[in-house]
Amino acid sequence: MENYVEDKPKRKGGVITWLVTNLSRILISLVVPIGLFVILWQGFLFLRDSNAPQIVLVLVAIVWGVGGVAALFWVTNWLVEKMPKEWTRRIQPYVFVGPAIAIIAWFLFIPAVRTLILSFQNDISNKWIGFANYIFAFTDRVMLDAFRNNLLWLVFGTFFSVALGLIIAVLADRSRYETIYKVLIFIPMAISFVGAGVIWKFIYAYQGLGVGVKEIGLLNAIVVGLGGTAQPWLTQGPWNNFLLIIIMVWLQTGFAMVIISSAVKGIPAELLEAARVDGANEFRIFFTIIIPSIAGTLITVTTTIVIFSLKLFDVVYVMTGGNFGTNVIANEFYLQRFTYGNAGRASAIAIVLLIATTPVMIYNLRQFNERRAF
Partner 1 sequence: MAAKTQGFQKQKRSSSILLNLTLSIICFIWLLPVIGLLVTSFRNSTDIFTSGWWTIFPHREYQNTRQIVLDPSVDVNGPITVEGVTATFDEFRDGVTAPNGEQLTWYGNRRTRTIDVAERVWVGFNTNLSLKNYISVLSGKSVTFTDATGREVITRGPSLGSAFLNSLAVTIPATIIPILIAAFAAYGFAWLNFPGRKLLFILVVAMLVVPLQTALVPILQDYTRLNLNGTFLAIWLAHTGFGLPLAVYLLFNYIALLPREILESAFLDGASNFTIFTQLILPLSIPALASFAIFQFLWVWNDFLVALIFLGDKNRVVTSALANLVGERGQDWHLLTAGAFVSMLLPLIVFLALQRYFVRGMMAGSVKG
Give the residue with the Cβ less far from partner 1, 19 or 191: 191
Task: Give the number of residues in contact with partner 1, rule: CB under 8 A.
Answer: 121
Task: Report d(CA 256, CA 313) in Å as an integer.
Answer: 19
* C-alpha dihedral sign at 306, 308, 314, 317: positive
Q: Does 348 help bind partner 1 (rule: CB under 8 A)?
A: no
Give the residue with the Cβ less far from partner 1, 81 or 123: 81
* Site pattern 226..245 for partner 1 (x: CB under 8 A): --------------------
CB 71 within 8 A of CB 63: no
Could you say which of 46, 156, 159, 193 contacts partner 1 (CB under 8 A)? Answer: 193
CB 137 within 8 A of CB 349: yes
Could you say which of 15, 16, 190, 277 contacts partner 1 (CB under 8 A)? Answer: 190
Could you say which of 120, 147, 206, 250 contacts partner 1 (CB under 8 A)? Answer: 250
Q: Residue 279: what residue type?
A: G
Give the residue with the Cβ less far from partner 1, 26 or 184: 184
Interface with partner 1 in residues 37-66 (CB under 8 A): 44, 47-48, 54-55, 57-58, 61-62, 65-66
Measured between alpha carbons, how far is residue 42 from residues 49, 53, 61 in Å? 11, 18, 12
Give the residue with the Cβ less far from partner 1, 16 or 176: 176
Interface with partner 1 in residues 287-306 (CB under 8 A): 292-297, 300, 303-304
- Minimum Å gap between C-beta 305 and partner 1 is 11
Q: Residue 59: what residue type?
A: L
DSSP conformation letters of 137-201: HHH-HHHHHHHHHHHHIIIIIHHHHHHHHHHHHHHHHTSTTHHHHHHHHHHHHHS-HHHHHHHHH
